[in-house]
Structure 1
């Protein structure tokens, strides 16, 4: 959707609020010391997330939020939604994890919304986002109305549980398994939450940012990739 389609009543594109800074990144790829051969060792930049957007959101976004409010009730919607973000012409609903099935069912079943298809779920790991280090991001598509939106849910690393959407969107079956495999998010209620890519006895979750880069034995070859701080430096 282009900018004109999401423009507000005055023709301006709504912008999210002040970015939420959750940390500072030093260097790149997590490498420290002499193992850094990338040339980015001195890079310093903040890690930030878009802030919430205030209404009016523009385009069909306002109608979708109003319809969702009517479907759930104003109190339920306020309890369910953490924030709404309109960023680069896309709508994202940040939902508290306990209310995820309720919101997803309303988005699917309400005649004014009809987001019938879930295109999958992706995991994200923010180690510095204290209390909500793990995020699950669902992409929903309305075949009826031709719209798309994103639903994002967060969980703490110490309690990585999020309700499964398998009963509402069966297409999330393998996607939730993959997200569990690579990020360690536990989708409560999934009928068969097992690893889908890594061996069943694999330790850890490889796409988390605290997962070691190297130092893991390579099966069948007898070789070993040293961790970054033990590799040969060229500078």
Structure 2
């Protein structure tokens, strides 16, 4: 994306929420804005209703576990179909009790993505209409995409490292 468009998106967010911006990055030329978690729904609603930005398409809601800093990030990717602009918004939650308000009040399509994030990372979305596991069994006690769990079952006897060239 052109740097002038990125600056325009940043200025739109700064109009009302400058104090919520933690940092701005452009990995792989994709505008990424790291925000405080407090006003994330208001910021997204503002971008949705903004007369110029019109970020009215939710591409992604997902979790990212950072075990080194004991945080779970929630990443929201928005797309303005009118302008063909994209932006990635990230907030950081504590690993021990990750809680954030639901985005289903702005995007009904966030329902499934939030359930998936809850299922795999344990993030609780307050106000969600049906927050329960969606892909794993209901009685599972872990959230498998957190990096605190081993990749393989350590109790299995039928899998020896030499069988896999290790």
Deviation at 1:115, TM superposition (A): 0.2
Q: After superposition, what is the alpha-carbon deviation per residue over 1:58-80, rounded to whole angstroms, capped at 9, x for unaligned?
A: 2201111212222x1xxx421x1
Q: After superposition, what is the alpha-carbon deviation per residue over 1:65-106, rounded to whole angstroms, capped at 9, x for unaligned?
A: 212222x1xxx421x111111222110111111110111111
Deviates further, 134-143 or 205-214: 205-214
What corresponds to 1:77 in structure 2?
18
Query: Partner of 1:138: helix, strand, or coil?
Result: strand
Deviation at 1:231, TM superposition (A): 4.6
What corresponds to 1:165 in structure 2?
103
Q: Is the 8 A contact 1:97 1:163 kept in 2?
A: no
What corresponds to 2:8 in structure 1?
63
Q: Which of structure 1's runs of 4+ aligned residues deviate more than 6 A?
A: none
Unaligned runs of 5+ in 2: none
- Distance in 1 of aligned mates of 2:103 and 2:124: 12
Q: After superposition, what is the alpha-carbon deviation per residue over 1:127-175, rounded to whole angstroms, capped at 9, x for unaligned?
A: 0014xx1111111000111111101111011221112111011111000
Larger Rg: 1
- Distance in 2 of aligned mates of 1:159 and 1:208: 13
Q: After superposition, what is the alpha-carbon deviation per residue over 1:150-204, rounded to whole angstroms, capped at 9, x for unaligned?
A: 0111101122111211101111100000010011111111111100011111110
Deviates further, 59-68 or 175-184: 59-68
Unaligned runs of 5+ in 1: 6-57, 217-224
Equivalent residues in 2 for 1:1-235, closer than 5 Å: 1=1, 5=2, 58-70=3-15, 72=16, 76-78=17-19, 80-130=20-70, 133-215=71-153, 226=156, 231-234=159-162
Q: Is the 8 A contact 1:138 1:151 kept in 2?
A: yes
- Distance in 1 of aligned mates of 2:129 and 2:45: 18
TM-score (norm 2): 0.90
Deviates further, 137-146 or 206-215: 206-215
| RMSD of aligned alpha carbons | 1.9
